[in-house]
């Protein structure tokens, strides 16, 4: 913000004498706005042009820094009814008009309010195709600008006749190859490009561990554990000694798994069975639980 303040002061040093007072006022307003940059700025679009905003102190910052501020939320001139309903109103004024007209006793005013409301609903993405065409025509080749849409500001550039937005989403923080995203439709599904505007695709991410199917070993382990629980419940119902405790179930399951491993490995490895059992007994004495 300190850098922006110095840049703003030096950007208009060659002002005419008659404009000096106005410049000082603009500078004062801009300095009051700069601290808001860390949280966002409030702007109020007009639907008549890509550069049309209600003039507020927030817009002064862009003027002092000579950075164009654009939006693409325009009324299609091929819809004269919507053009007449929206007119030259700003967004805030149009919302007030819709609320006022929809509750009017005059049917013509109610109809006009409904048309204006339909415009806002049909352009809920805050970008229309007419606005996109006007935006492409208005922006200059190689020009760095700020694009306002969906209550967010994006860095925009025009390269070889196409518009691109700087990729700043937190989800792409580690994807150094993704720098620009094309702006060529209102749906928001642009193509990703590198720093040289060459097409590239985001890497395919592996699904989370919870989404992976269980392995055969995990499935068999679950089956074995379910079987031991069922046996324990059956013994309890038949009047046999009480059900196996969690520790006993774990020991029995561990022993069965060990025997299965010995059978799969063959007899040459069976010589280590005694020492393994000894270690298991020592571990049982040292601890009351066994980690599977």
> In this predicted model, what pLDDT tens digit does every residue of 150-194 receive, in sequence order?
888 999 999 999 999 999 988 888 888 899 999 998 887 789 999
User: In this predicted structure, what is the pLDDT of residue 23?
Assistant: 72
Q: pTM to 2 decimals?
A: 0.64
**pLDDT at 22 > cutoff 60:** yes
User: In this predicted structure, what is the pLDDT of residue 11?
Assistant: 63
User: In this predicted structure, what is the pLDDT of residue 217?
Assistant: 64
> In this predicted model, what pLDDT tens digit does every residue of 222-262 receive, in sequence order?
666 666 666 665 665 565 555 555 566 666 666 766 666 66
Alpha carbon distance 16, 14 (integer Å): 7
Residue in this structure with the two tokens 């490009």, named with its chain if needed: 193
Ranges of each domain in the chain: 2-73+123-193, 210-265+282-286
Helices 273-286 and 246-265 sit at what angle, rounded to 10 degrees? Answer: 160
**Exposed / middle / buried, residue 193 (Cβ in 10 Å: 0-12, 13-18, 19+):** buried
**pLDDT at 204 > cutoff 70:** no
Q: Are β-strands 192-193 and 162-166 bridged in parallel, bridged antiparallel, or unpaired?
A: unpaired
> In this predicted model, what pLDDT tens digit does every residue of 100-147 receive, in sequence order?
998 899 999 999 999 999 999 999 999 999 999 999 999 999 999 999
């Amino acid at each position: 913000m300190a850098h922006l303040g110095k840049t703003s002061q030096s950007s208009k040093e060659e002002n005419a004498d008659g404009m000096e007072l106005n410049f000082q006022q603009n500078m004062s307003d801009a300095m009051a706005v700069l601290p808001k940059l860390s949280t966002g700025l409030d702007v109020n679009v007009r639907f008549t042009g890509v550069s049309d905003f209600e003039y507020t102190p927030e817009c002064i910052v862009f003027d002092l820094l000579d950075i164009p501020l654009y939006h693409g939320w325009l009324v299609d001139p091929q819809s004269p009814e919507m053009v007449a309903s929206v007119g030259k109103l700003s967004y805030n004024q149009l919302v007030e008009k819709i609320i006022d007209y929809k509750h009017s006793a005059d049917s013509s005013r109610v109809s006009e309010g409904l048309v204006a409301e339909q415009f806002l609903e049909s352009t809920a993405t805050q970008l229309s195709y007419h606005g996109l065409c006007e935006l492409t025509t208005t922006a200059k080749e190689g020009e760095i600008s700020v694009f306002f849409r969906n209550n967010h500001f994006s860095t925009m550039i025009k390269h070889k006749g196409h518009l691109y937005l700087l990729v700043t989403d937190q989800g792409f923080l580690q994807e150094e190859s993704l720098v620009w995203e094309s702006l060529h439709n209102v749906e928001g599904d642009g193509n990703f490009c590198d720093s040289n505007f060459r097409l590239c695709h985001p890497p395919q991410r592996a699904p989370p561990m919870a989404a992976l199917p269980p392995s055969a070993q995990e499935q068999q382990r679950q089956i074995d554990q379910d079987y031991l629980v069922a046996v324990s419940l059956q013994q309890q119902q038949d009047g046999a000694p009480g059900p196996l405790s969690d520790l006993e179930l774990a020991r029995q399951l561990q022993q069965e798994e060990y025997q299965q491993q010995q059978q799969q490995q063959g007899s040459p490895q069976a010589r280590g069975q005694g020492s393994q059992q000894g270690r298991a007994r020592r571990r049982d004495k040292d601890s009351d639980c066994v980690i599977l």
